[in-house]
Amino acid sequence: MYIAKKPDIPSSEITPREVFENRRKFLKAAGFSVAAGAISSMLPSAVLAANERQKIAGFSKTAYGKDEKLTSYEDVTTYNNFYEFGTDKGDPVVHARLFKPRPWTVSIEGEVKKPKQISIEDIFKIAPLEERIYRMRCVEGWSMVIPWVGLPLANLIKYAEPTANAKYVEFISLADPRQMAGVRIPVLDWPYTEGLRMDEAMHPLTIMAVGLYGEVLPNQNGAPMRLVVPWKYGFKGGKSIVRIRFTEQMPVSTWMKASPKEYGFYANVNPKVSHPRWSQSSERRIGGGLLSPRIKTQLFNGYADEVGQLYAGMDLHKNF
């Protein structure tokens, strides 16, 4: 029997205070039910995601993270931030069950030579799919090690043929109130939007994930396609992306709008730059239990050798 795990950090310390204090009202307005939460605590994730589990054929394994200890599939798929399906970590696995990630198209817009619509199936064909095992660190203080399956974002960018004016890449997620009850409530300014500087987007570590653990990406993890940038905090990874826009100006992301003093554009993992409400110097791996020892957080989540040069000369306290 699956038992929902108590979060390591209280919800009041994870989300902006006004979001937490109004959560009951928001949930009632959105149509979320207490019964649904009770069901999620009794059913194994394999049952909850049964209609989503499908093997991916033809991807290659890489050396990325080959010596890492993986977080279990159970934890990866039942402990999620995906506010479109609820603000608690256990909400998405329940409320995303009826979400339909097919058919799916992505609109490529902005500073590109030929704006276009592309299906998720055609995105699969742009570059060979690879498995990348990445450490993932969330701003709340918990972390996971996940075997993603995806393609380098750089390949998709080259396919899009951006113009010389394209300095940033903006990612816009689906906001469908018919399928996503969380979108019916003003927790955030929908649709969820994130962005990267062009050199960050082109970096070899940055991928568009379409699966995990060798299977098609579950709904609650951002199906059918999400952004993965392993040296940044998890909120940078936009899920269920429907639009990719190339811009000359820096995009204003969703969490920057919601709380600019707490969430900056760069969101690089940095143990020396604290969140206003908690330290970022250490983290706890999900799956080890509340008594598991905390581990020291590494600059750029341990990927400093690969990405440190992107920020040479920058004040990382100011550009947080």
- DSSP secondary structure of 270-309: -TTS-BTTB--SEEEETTS-TTSPPEEPPGGGGTHHHHGG
Tokens matching residue 96: 């995303």
Tokens matching residue 126: 């742009």
Tokens matching residue 233: 């905090």
The candidate with the shortest Cα–Cα distance to 120, out of 103, 132, 108, is: 103
| Percent share of the chain, pLDDT over 90 | 79
**What is the rounded distance in angstroms from the CA atom of residue 45 to the CA atom of residue 41?**
10
User: pLDDT digit string (tens) for 42-68?
Assistant: 444 444 444 458 999 999 999 999 999
pLDDT on residue 232: 98
**What is the rounded distance in angstroms from the CA atom of residue 305 to the CA atom of residue 195?**
23
**What is the rounded distance in angstroms from the CA atom of residue 161 to the CA atom of residue 154?**
11
Q: pTM here? A: 0.87
pLDDT on residue 2: 34
User: pLDDT digit string (tens) for 185-218?
Assistant: 999 999 999 999 999 999 999 999 999 999 999 9
**What is the rounded distance in angstroms from the CA atom of residue 317 to the CA atom of residue 18?**
26
* CATH numbers and ranges of domains, the chain: 11-311 (3.90.420.10)
pLDDT on residue 3: 35
